[in-house]
Structure 1
Amino acid sequence: MKRDLLFSGAVVVVAVAGLAVLCGSARAGGAADYYPRRAWGSFEGGQMNTSLLVFRDLNRNGIYDLGDRPMSRVAVELGKPNGSTIMRLTNAGGFANFRMSVMQRDFEVVDPGHYTFRVVPPPGYSVTTGNASQESDYVVSPGSPGDMIAKTTTHPVGLAADMTISGAVAAGSRVSLTGPDGVSAAAQVGPDGRFSAPVTPGEWLVDFATGGATERRHVVVGASPVVLSAFSGKSGPAEKPLPLEHVVGFDDLMTSPGVFEVPSGYGGLNWYNLVAMHQRFTDGPGYTNTTMSGEFIAYNSSGHPAQVFSDKPFDFTGAYFGAGWDDAEGETLVLKAWRGDEPAYEDQLVLSANGLVYFAADYLRITRLEIRTQHYWQAAIDDFAYRTGP
C-alpha cells in the first residue's frame, strides 16, 4: 500500500508539471511556453559591473602579459558626470568594480555621461603602463544587463615597486653600491644607521665598512625591493655558503583550496606553526600581493611565532614577505636565528599588505630560525630560499 501511494503521488506531480496554466485552465505546454524569447528594447532593471584591472607588472615592460599577477588593495577613483568621485579598492582578482544600473539609483554608475577612472598607486609603487587616468562615455542601452553600456572599456593598469636596496648598519659605517653597469655610488646612511638607495633590476655588489671591518654582499634585484640583513661589523675570514640551493614555494604541499600545516621534513627542514594555503582562500589582500610563484603561500599560524629548524646546519638565503591583512599595514617582522643555543642573527623589517619585499638574509650555518611579528598579525611568506650541505 505504501508503495502504491508513493507511485500515485509521483504520477500526479508529473502530470501537473506537464500542464501550462492559461486563464485559470490548464493545458499542455509547448516550446513557446518553456523557452520564451525576450522582448528586446525594454528596460531590464538589473545591474552589471564596470571594472578596471590593476596588475603587478613583474617584468616592468608596461604590458599585461604572461607572468604578471593581479594586485589587490589598490585605490581606483571614479569621476562622475556631476563632478563627484567615489573610490573602490581592487579585489583579490585585481578588479575595482563599480555597479552600473539605470533603474537601481543607489549604484555608482546610474546616469549617462562622461566618466573618468584614476588609479592611485600605494606608496612605493609607480604606474608602468602610462594609463593611470582613463575616461569613457556611458549611454543608455535598454535590454543590456544594467540598461547602460560604456562606449569604450578600460585597459589594465600595471604597477611596479620602486626598486631599492635598504638595510641597517652601525652609526658611522660606509655603504657603497655597484650596479650592473659597473658604476659605484655611496649610499647615504642616516643617524639611525639605516640606508636606502634606488636601484635597477640585476646583480649588485654592496660593500660595507666600519671600524676596519669590511663585508661585501652579492645581491640580485628582481621584481621587488630588497632588504638586507644587518651588517655584522666583524672582521675575519667569511664563512663559505653551503653548496646545495633550495627554494620552496609551498605549491606542492596541497591541491585543494583549504589550509595545510607545513609538515616537518618538507624540503628537508623541520617546520613549526607555519600554514600553507591558496592565496585567495581568505580576503587578506597581502596574500595575493605577496605570492610570487604558483598559487599558494605560507603564513605564521594565528599570527604567532613560527620556526624552521634542523639538526644539520643550513643557510637561510632569504624569502619574500608581506603583511597578510590590510589592518596589519606597517607590522614589524622580527627574524632571529641560532646556531645550537647560541644567538647568531637578528633583523627587523616593516611589512605591507600592498606589496612584498625580498629579505636577503644570508644567514650562514644556522640550526633554527624564528619568524615572529611584533603585534601578532600574520606575515605572508613565499619562495623560502635556503642552502644545505651534501
Structure 2
Amino acid sequence: MKRGLLFSSVVAAAIGLAMFCGAARAGSAKDYYPRRAWGSFNGGQMNTSVLVFRDLNRNGVYDLGDRPMPHVAVELGKPNGNTVMKWTNVSGFANFRMSVIQRDLEVVDPGHYSFRVVPPPGWSVTTGNASQESDYVVSPGSPGDMIAMRTTHPVGLAADLTISGAVTAGSRISLTGPDGATAAAKVDPDGRFSVPATSGEWLVDVSTDGATQRRKVVVGSAPVVLSASSDKGAEEPLPNRHVVGFDDLLTTSGVFEVPSGYGGLDWYNLVAMHQRFTDGPGYINTTMSGEFIAYNSSGHPAQVFSDKPFDFAGAYFGAGWNDAEGETLVLKAWRGDQPVYEDSVVLSASGPVYFAADYMRITRLEIRTQHHWQAAIDNFAYRTGP
C-alpha cells in the first residue's frame, strides 16, 4: 500500500472515531452547567480575615486616604483555648483559613472565636476594636462548609506622635503646641529628648549658653525627629520649596534608578520603585503619598548633590524590611568640601518618622545606614534658589 493511501486511511479512521466518541459524549445544558447539590459538603476552604490599616487622619474610620498596614500581628483565639498568630500581608489582611473537612487549617470546628490585633511598639488602635469576636457555624455547600455569624471590622492603627531629637547637654527646651500651651521638655544627660505631640504647628525653643534658637515644626501623621542643629550659616531659607515623591519617574511596577536632574538635583545610588514590587513591608508602610518610594540601592550609601546650594528641609524615612527593625540611618551634609551637618535616626519597618533636617545651603547630602539595610524614603523636601 502506498504511504499516502495509508495516511488517508488512518486520518479517516481517526475522524470517524472522534465523531463516534463525540456523539457518545453529547449532553444537555444541564450536563454541562450542573447546579451544586447545596445540602452536601463542599470540602474546600475559605479565608476569614482581619484588615489592619494605617489611619493617616486618625479619625477612627477606614476611609479614603488610609493605607493597608502589612506585618502586624493578629491573634486568633480558638474554642479550645489555643491561639494562632498570623501577620497581615501586603494588602493589610491577616488571613485564617477555615474548612470543616480540611482539618489542618486554623478554623475547623464550630464555636466561639476571637481576634486580637497586637500593634507594634509606638502604635495605638484608633478604631476601638483591637479585640473582636464571632461565632462560627457549619454551613454545608459554602466554600469552606463554615461561616461566621459576624464578620470583623477594619482595625486602624496610628503612630504615637512625638517630637524628639538631641541637643547639647544642659540645654533647656520649651515647646508651644497648636493650642498655644507651652511646656518644658525633659532633657536627658546625653542631650536627648522626646515629648508627646499632636498634629499641627509647633514652636520649639532650644536655649543653650544664654542663646535661644527657635524652630517651627509641623507634625502630621508621623513622629518628628529634629536635626541636632539648623542654624549653621545663619542664613534665610532659600525661596523655592519642592517635594518629590518619586511617583513621576515610572509608570510600571519595576525599579528605576533616580537620574541626575530629577527635581533639579543630582542623585547617586537611589532607586525608585513601586511600593509592592518587593515583599518588604517597610516600603509599603513608609509610603506617604502615591504608590512609589525610593531607597538606597543594595543598602549602600546614596547621595543627593548640586553645584548650586540647596536646603534639605526633610523627608519620611523607614526601614524597608522587618529584619532591619531598629536600623540606624546616618545623614551627613557638606557645603563644598566642608562637613556641616550630621545626624542619626532609628528606623522602623512599621512606619516612617519625619526627619526635620533644616540643612541650610548645602551642596551634598549623604544617606546611609549603619548596617547596610535599605532605608525607604518618601516625600523628599528641599528648597532651591532663584
Fold agreement, TM-score > 0.5: yes
SS at match of 2:24: strand
Deviations 1:250-299 (A, max 9, x none): 11111111111111111111111111111111111101100000011110
The amino acid that maps onto 2:134 is S
Alignment-derived partner of residue 321 in structure 2? 325
Alignment-derived partner of residue 67 in structure 2? 69
* 1:231 CA displacement: 2.7
Deviations 1:92-119 (A, max 9, x none): 1111110111111110000000000011
* 1:14 CA displacement: 8.6
Are 2:44 and 2:145, in contact at CA under 8 Å, matched by a contact in 1? yes
Question: Does 2:344 align with 1:348?
Answer: yes
Question: Does 2:241 align with 1:245?
Answer: yes
* 1:29 CA displacement: 3.5
**Cα 1:271–1:4, aligned 2, differ >3 Å: closer, same or farther?**
farther
**Cα 1:177–1:17, aligned 2, differ >3 Å: closer, same or farther?**
farther
Provide the C-alpha distance between the structure 1 equivalents of 2:276 and 2:156, rounded to a whole number of angstroms.
20
Q: Matched residues, percent identical?
A: 80
Question: Does 2:183 align with 1:185?
Answer: yes
The counterpart of 1:276, out of the listed 268, 272, 277, is 272
Provide the C-alpha distance between the structure 1 equivalents of 2:6 and 2:380, rounded to a whole number of angstroms.
66
Provide the C-alpha distance between the structure 2 equivalents of 1:57 and 1:195, rounded to a whole number of angstroms.
26
Alignment-derived partner of residue 52 in structure 2? 54
Alignment-derived partner of residue 365 in structure 1? 361
**Cα 1:335–1:38, aligned 2, differ >3 Å: closer, same or farther?**
same
* 1:27 CA displacement: 3.7
Report how many residues are paired. Answer: 385
Provide the C-alpha distance between the structure 2 equivalents of 1:195 and 1:214, rounded to a whole number of angstroms.
17
Are 1:20 and 1:29, in contact at CA under 8 Å, matched by a contact in 2? no
The amino acid that maps onto 2:339 is P
Question: Does 2:342 align with 1:336?
Answer: no
Provide the C-alpha distance between the structure 2 equivalents of 1:197 and 1:7, rounded to a whole number of angstroms.
90
**Cα 1:146–1:365, aligned 2, differ >3 Å: closer, same or farther?**
same
Structure 1: stretches of 5+ with no match in the other structure? none
The amino acid that maps onto 1:155 is H
Question: Does 2:209 align with 1:226?
Answer: no
**Cα 1:45–1:244, aligned 2, differ >3 Å: closer, same or farther?**
same
Provide the C-alpha distance between the structure 1 equivalents of 2:256 and 2:12, rounded to a whole number of angstroms.
50
The amino acid that maps onto 1:246 is H
* 1:42 CA displacement: 1.0
Alignment-derived partner of residue 135 in structure 2? 137
Alignment-derived partner of residue 35 in structure 1? 33
Provide the C-alpha distance between the structure 2 equivalents of 1:242 and 1:8, rounded to a whole number of angstroms.
89
* 1:147 CA displacement: 0.7
Provide the C-alpha distance between the structure 2 equivalents of 1:112 and 1:276, rounded to a whole number of angstroms.
47
Question: Does 2:304 align with 1:308?
Answer: yes
**Cα 1:256–1:139, aligned 2, differ >3 Å: closer, same or farther?**
same
Provide the C-alpha distance between the structure 1 equivalents of 2:27 and 2:211, rounded to a whole number of angstroms.
92
Are 1:18 and 1:29, in contact at CA under 8 Å, matched by a contact in 2? no
Provide the C-alpha distance between the structure 2 equivalents of 1:342 and 1:10, rounded to a whole number of angstroms.
86
Are 1:44 and 1:144, in contact at CA under 8 Å, matched by a contact in 2? yes
* 1:212 CA displacement: 2.7
Provide the C-alpha distance between the structure 2 equivalents of 1:322 and 1:3, rounded to a whole number of angstroms.
73
* 1:306 CA displacement: 0.5
Alignment-derived partner of residue 201 in structure 1? 199
* 1:373 CA displacement: 0.4
Are 1:208 and 1:231, in contact at CA under 8 Å, matched by a contact in 2? no
Provide runs of 4+ in structure 1 moved above 3 Å.
2-21
Provide the C-alpha distance between the structure 2 equivalents of 1:6 and 1:349, rounded to a whole number of angstroms.
79
Provide the C-alpha distance between the structure 2 equivalents of 1:297 and 1:284, rounded to a whole number of angstroms.
12
Structure 2: stretches of 5+ with no match in the other structure? none
The amino acid that maps onto 1:342 is Q
Deviations 1:152-191 (A, max 9, x none): 0000000111110000011101111110111111110111
The amino acid that maps onto 1:386 is Y
* 1:84 CA displacement: 0.6
Alignment-derived partner of residue 106 in structure 2? 108
**Cα 1:343–1:14, aligned 2, differ >3 Å: closer, same or farther?**
farther
* 1:129 CA displacement: 0.5
* 1:36 CA displacement: 2.0
Provide the C-alpha distance between the structure 1 equivalents of 2:8 and 2:234, rounded to a whole number of angstroms.
86
